[in-house]
Structure 1
Amino acid sequence: MTRTMLIFAAGLASGMTALAPAALAASCFDLWYERNAIYDHNGYCFSSNLGKRTFDNSDCWTKHANLSQWETRRVAEIKAEERRRGCKVNN
């Protein structure tokens, strides 16, 4: 398990109140994983092959996940870092 995944898991366990800045992620995949784990945690049904292989769609219920304010901000931070790095994990 990568450092980012461990940090994210710790965030979930603690109520997702404080995670490391997105810039500390080890790789573009770590950023992609953390961002999509937030969606998965909120019941998102993945349609991409990578999303389906990485996350369990058997318990999903929506294509429009309802994120908290904190989650929305975190996803925006991660997306900004992905753009800054030029990440293309699932494109």
Structure 2
Amino acid sequence: MAISAAARTCTRKVKRARHSGAKQNQVFLRLSGFMEVDMRASTTLASLGLAGSLFAVLAAATPARADACFDLWVARNSIYKAYGYCFKTPKAIAYFGNAGCQYDYEGDIPFSHSDKARVLAIKKQERALGCL
């Protein structure tokens, strides 16, 4: 494979910059003969930039995921509430309450086959989203 003259020039300048012992390790690249780019090796800034970008992506995705997790949690626990489950977590007690509850243990609840299947499907979705 033939290397263009511009690529050879860039390679030589990179090698010179690496071996020059310069404090900032400056590298000059000449692209297409009309543009010169000054690149300073700065892993800290690059890491911060990548971390910032990753944080922005996660921050944008988090509210949607949190909403989906909450909706699934409500759907699953609404089924439990309809069957008289006595909630144990402060969050569930605050949201659903325990008035009229009859079952302290999940295994004691006499779910219909369709409701049991719905609970299992919701739990599967929650695991897939990382909610549980």
TM-score bracket for the superposition, by shorter chain length? 0.5 to 0.7
Higher relative contact order (CA 8 A, sep 6+): 1
How far 1:66 sits from its partner (Å)? 1.4
Gapped regions of structure 2 (runs ≥ 5): 1-66
Give the distance between the partners of 1:49 and 1:65, measured in 2 at CA.
20
- Show structure 1 runs of 5+ residues with no match: 1-25
Q: Look up the match of 1:52.
A: 93
Percent identical among aligned pairs is 40
Report whether the alignment pairs 1:39 with 2:80: yes
Moved >6 Å (runs of 4+): none
1:87 aligns with 2:128: no
CA deviation vs aligned residue, 1:45-66 (integer Å, no higher than 9, x gap): 0011111001121111112321
Structure 2 letter corresponding to 1:47: K
- Equivalents in 1 of 2:110, 2:76: separation in Å? 14
> Which residue is 1:3 aligned to?
none
Letter in 2 for 1:35: R
Alignment of 1:1-91 (within 5 A): 27-63=68-104, 64-88=108-132
How many angstroms apart in 2 are the aligned matches of 1:67 and 1:50?
A: 23
- One-letter identity of the residue aligned with 2:91: L
Between structures 1 and 2, the one with greater strand share:
2
TM-score, with normalisation over the residues of structure 1? 0.65
Count of residues in Structure 1 that have an aligned counterpart in Structure 2: 63
Residue 28 of structure 1 deviates from its aligned partner by 0.3
Partner SS, residue 59 of structure 1: coil
